[in-house]
Amino acid sequence: MNVSIRTVAREDILSQYRWYLAEAGAEIAQRFLDAIEAAAELLRRMPDIGSPRDFRNPLLAGVRSYPIPGFAAIRIYYIHSGDALRIVRVLHGKRDIHAILEGDEGNE
């Protein structure tokens, strides 16, 4: 299965990585990146394990979320369709997820 990551999701990951680097140190920041990679690989193999999410925006039909192992408050939001898995965002649960995802333009 092909896995793609939207540019904005890559920015989410980088932003969270920088936060961990500044607040928790290089070891935790690297562990976060490793956990993202492991989660993406798991989703590639078993894309239906994430929790379905409902949004009004038709571009978000089929979005699922999956917690990052070891960083459960941070979730990967993705869409699985056919032989493709697209990571839409990677967001902390304390953020207004619906507003963020509904506001995304999804042009990429």
Q: Where are the domains of the chain?
A: 2-103
Q: Is the dihedral of CA 23, 103, 101, 99 positive or negative?
A: positive
Alpha carbon distance 51, 53 (integer Å): 6
pLDDT tens digits, one per residue of 4-54: 999 999 999 999 999 999 999 999 999 999 999 999 999 999 999 999 998
Which pLDDT belongs to residue 93? 86
pTM, whole model, 2 decimals?
Answer: 0.91
Q: Which CATH superfamily is domain 2-103 in?
A: RelE-like (3.30.2310.20)
Task: Tell me if residue 14 falls in helix, strand or coil.
Answer: helix
Q: In the predicted model, what is the mean pLDDT of the chain?
A: 92
Amino acid at the residue 62: G
